[in-house]
Amino acid sequence: MTARKIVVALGGNAILANDASAAAQQRALRETAKYLVKFIQQGDSLIISHGNGPQVGNILLQQAAGSTPDNPEMPLDTAVAMTQGSIGYWLQNAMAAELAALGLEMDVATVVTQVVVDEHDPAFDTPTKPIGPFYSREAVSVLKSANPGFHFVEDAGRGYRRVVASPRPVDVVEAGAVNQLAKAGVIPIAAGGGGIPVVRQGNQLIGREAVIDKDFASEKLAERVGADQLIILTAVDHVYVNFNQPQQRQLTTVSVNELRQHIADGQFAAGSMLPKVEAAIEFVTHRPEGQAVITSLSNLGQFIESGSGTVVSMVSADANV
């Protein structure tokens, strides 16, 4: 089999369950590494991306609790960079240990990754992504006075949360470096948490208070490095239509046009399966010779062995879907 270049986007369940301690997350990533090395064993070139939603939320909580004038909390773009470093460190070590156990000599390197967004993206005018802790109405009043640019919304009767913009990625600054690492036989970990959101101003890249969807950022990275396959990992083995209903049906091989029709029919929940499906469509649209796959971490072995999962291509090979 010809070696393929594969970008695997890890979902949050591959890193964090109920225990937010460093030790628990390291244990989870050691299990995750056992699945990821299967691609290396079959000769593929692997690039890994990952989410960071719970981790960056925890950092914001810790900073808010300990912030003082002499030791102020860091802005959101810097918090994303911090989680890229910490998760990358854990995953590097997990992958290195698993590779060594299999007698495979390969380097793994985390790339602190900046993702360019459009300064005029309408998402900046309507922040929607909740981050950080819950606040009382009184606490929000104090925070708004100190930070007039912050936006807060009431969240399901549990209090108020800060919301930030979630703009679409335009480019991945370090995509060239990631590609060079992959060509050199290194396993890069990149675009963590959707990447650090930046805008271009002249010769500078300026960080923005925003959170980029990691599936869209992973798609942009896969597109820029010329990947053959984008694998988006989530909690289920397949994408379903009529999910959790008596007529529920899994999708195996499906075309871009068929998925677009399912989107028009309202089949996929916003903030859940919809961005994954949209990212898969974008990748295959930009890389018509490539494939996008949506499946679960636990199903990776079955996918590698038999193609089990939802495989998205320009033309469906499954007449029953």
Active site residue ranges: 12-13, 129, 214, 276
Backbone angles phi, psi at 257, to 5 degrees: -65, -40
CA distance 290 to 277: 15
For residue 121, give the nearest of 83, 190, 181, 171 by alpha carbon: 171
CA distance 255 to 238: 14
Q: What is the 3-state secondary structure (H, E, C) of 102-116?
A: CCCCCCEEECCCEEE
Report how far apart, in Å, the C-alpha atoms of 229 and of each of 139, 172, 174, 232 are: 46, 18, 19, 10
Q: Tokens 């808010």 — which residue?
A: 64
Residue 150 near residue 144 (C-beta atoms within 8 A): yes
